Amino acid sequence: MEWRLVISSDLSCHVLVRLRFTPHVVTLVHGGGSRSVASAATFSRFIPEVKARYDYGVLIFILTFAMVAVSSYRVEDLIEFAHERVTTIAVGVATCLFTTVFVFPVWAGEDLHNLAAGNLDKLAEFLEGMESECFGETSSCENLEGKAFLHVYKSVLNSKVREDSLSTFARWEPIHGKFGFRHPWKQYQELGTLCRQCASSMEALASCVIILKGSQYPEANPELCLRTGAACAAMSSHSARVLRGLSLTVRTMTAPSPANGDMSAATKAASDFGTEFSEDGALLQAMHVAVVASLLSDIVAQIERITESTNDLARLACFKKPERSPSAVVINIED
């Protein structure tokens, strides 16, 4: 609406001036109006909302406006030239739409959906590697810097630009596949933000583990190491299962189960360790052992927020309910 008002005002001023004033004044007013329209279009690209969703459209408008304005000094029939330019743009847009929809479909919404599920899988892979390589009974903790699982979170940290771009394009796409009208694309961005926060904590945890294993700290109490390792293994294992389940939920667009035993177990392990840490003086004497478990406790809390965000996505996107097998039996095991 704002663009129409500006352009229509400029055209109306141009017509009125041509009727009442001399040719020199007409040229002056026409130049000022054209300059104001071009300036408004150029500086509007600095507005975050416009740049995020309409940057390409505004850029095409600026190029077209500048070409028509400059060509007015060399082209006699300016209206015909502008019509040809608009027709060229329309043909190009129609060709792109036909190719991307019917010939070789490329859906940004589907890519964004797969990106969200893939990020959850990568976070789970990191925790699974920590559980098996650092906290497991057969873990050796040798040559950790060369382990692939310690670097898998980095792609999650660098996914914001692609995620924002895909979200912007997805809002303009028609209904396709499992993605209906008014699909909650913004919720994918919120989920991605939480995943990046969790990946940041994983980066701190990975750095801490590598430094501690390569340093010359005095050997801590074996009983203390055993208790801390068991708590870390429990938090890593249960958190990885939660993330795998959330990834499957997003990938299959199936509503998650209300009762999540792994999330409860991970939260309980983190809570129990925090209570023991505050009450046991021996732990305070071995901060280099307990800091890893403290970081894992923070990761468990962040995964709980990721779970809530995934549940919101399932509710807003109307994920289908999971099919219950009649032979499935749920067993709750309490330590």
Domains along the chain? 2-74 (no CATH), 108-316 (1.20.58)
pLDDT band at 23 (very low <50, low <70, confident <90, very high): low
**Low-confidence winner among 172-176, 198-202, 326-330 (lowest mean pLDDT):** 326-330
Report d(CA 225, CA 231) in Å as an integer: 10
Neighbours of 173 (CB within 10 A): 17
Residue 290 pLDDT > 80, yes or no? no
CB 126, CB 202: distance < 8 Å: yes
Rounded to 10°, the helix 2-20/23-44 angle is 170
Judge whether 239 and 265 are in contact, CB under 8 Å: no
Torsions phi, psi for 56 (to 5 deg): -65, -40
- Dump the DSSP string for 54-115: HHHHHHHHHHHHHHHHHHTTT-S-HHHHHHHHHHHHHHHHHHHHHIIIIIS---HHHHHHHH
Pairwise CA distance, residues 67 & 81, whole Å? 10
Q: What's the CA dihedral at 232, 235, 238, 244 to 10 degrees?
A: -90
8 A C-beta contact, residue 221 and residue 282: yes
Across the chain, what does the average pLDDT equal? 76
Measured distance CA(48)–CA(305) in Å, rounded: 27
Phi then psi for residue 176, to 5 deg, are: -155, 140
CA distance 302 to 70: 56
pLDDT at 70: 67
What average pLDDT does range 169-192 have in this prediction? 88
Residue 320's DSSP bridge partners are 254
Contact between 143 and 213 under an 8 Å Cβ cutoff? The reply is: no
Q: CA of 175: how far to CAs of 100, 182, 185, in Å?
A: 14, 9, 13
Q: How far is CA 141 from the centre of its chain?
A: 32
Confidence of residue 8 (pLDDT cuts 50, 70, 90): very low
Residue 277 pLDDT greater than 90, yes or no: no
Q: What is the pLDDT of residue 301?
A: 92
Report the chain's terminal Cα–Cα distance, integer Å.
64
| pLDDT surpassing 70 at residue 255 | yes
Residue 113 tokens read as 């959906």
What is the average pLDDT across 197-218?
78
322 φ/ψ sector (left φ>0, alpha ψ -120 to 50, else beta): beta
Does 125 or 256 have the greater pLDDT score?
Answer: 125
Contacts of 305 (CB under 8 A, 6+ apart): 194
User: Which of the pair, 90 or 31, is modelled with greater confidence?
Assistant: 90
Ramachandran region, residue 231 (left: φ > 0; alpha: ψ -120 to 50; beta: rest): alpha
Q: Which helix (H) or strand (E) holds 52?
A: helix 48-71
* Residue 1 pLDDT level (bands cut at 50, 70, 90): very low
Q: Is the pTM of this model over 0.85?
A: no
Q: Which of 59-63, 134-138, 205-209 has the lowest mean pLDDT?
A: 134-138
